[in-house]
A = this chain, B = another copy of it.
């Protein structure tokens, strides 16, 4: 269900990329990438909350604290998760080669992996590929990079824009991957976004956290948080524009520009949700706080019964009501809530709305983009959660993943 669009990915000075087929998959396709960052760059990282973290995540988290990231190495086809000490050793071995080729330190390397869990990574393939990757480094290689990180994804997920602030151009370019094992608790996928605005590490981290909370942490395909989720926000600091020096209006403009990109990438993941036939926005309005709204939205988004009803284009709104009732939000009384499909009011005053006509709801559900609007009527906040339906295809993809 990916909408194809032709898009130019703006390159950024100070950031070079290179991708290759290293043999992680039986079929030839890009599966290994390196990103080289200029010395001036700074990097912010947010990682999975899954307690069975991949050695890649463990090392990247460690290096982000102790080192100064200059090289990112990213492979698909193997998550290097559930591999324990062996997984760490394998990473150390192929990073040794990186250290040599680029005269850098291990602690300045970040490592990312995505794919099957529990199998040893083909470290020799990576070692062999590194010199070739080095030769291929070029700042224009974003599209190849976006393809090299895909697994069950049916299309690459990219976003890029140039914005003007105080007469200066700021570039933001990002790519992401993710299709299954998607559930918010940090990023549930891989995401790499770069900008050239001059910014401090503290501010970059603070913006990054907010961005992830509003985008990747608001999506779910199947309620499963992966062992390898990583979101990386890079600033090459090559622009003349300094974030610190902006007034609050311009700061907000920069933030909202980059936020809309994160939301776009997050939505791309949902549109490409495994087996998805529907893109579903769940808007929870008039709530006390965002936490309450997210709890309600996620309960609806993760209900298999709601998801299968959406797949069947059946306005079985009782399942939505039941899922709201199952949320762990603090709301006890549901008698004031309203439930809409799109603009069609279905439930109000604790019962079905008198003028509700199921025929219209059936017709509305034939759309591929669906809105479920839930009005709680106990506050002024609102949140949106995005999800997909659950189809035969999801079962097929995940039953046949390793075969």
Contacts and interface: CB of A to CB of B under 8 A. Distances in A.
Nearest to A180: B305
A41 interface: no
A84 B321 CA distance: 12
Interface in A273-331: 302-305, 308-309, 311-312, 314, 316-319, 321-327, 331
**What bracket does the count of chain A residues touching chain B fall in?**
35 or more
Interface in A379-397: 390-392, 394-396
Contacts of A50: 322, 325-326
Nearest to A83: B351
A136 to B, nearest CB: 31
Nearest to A393: B395
Contacts of A119: 318
Contacts of A51: 324-327, 331-334
A81 interface: yes
A222 interface: yes
B316 A401 contact: yes
A311 B117 contact: no
Contacts of A326: 50-52, 185, 224-225
Given A84-B349, A180-B305, A181-B305, 8 more contacts: A50-B325, A52-B324, A82-B321, A84-B351, A118-B316, A304-B304, A312-B399, A312-B403
The 3 residue pairs across chains A and B that have the minimum distance between CB atoms: A117-B318, A52-B325, A84-B350
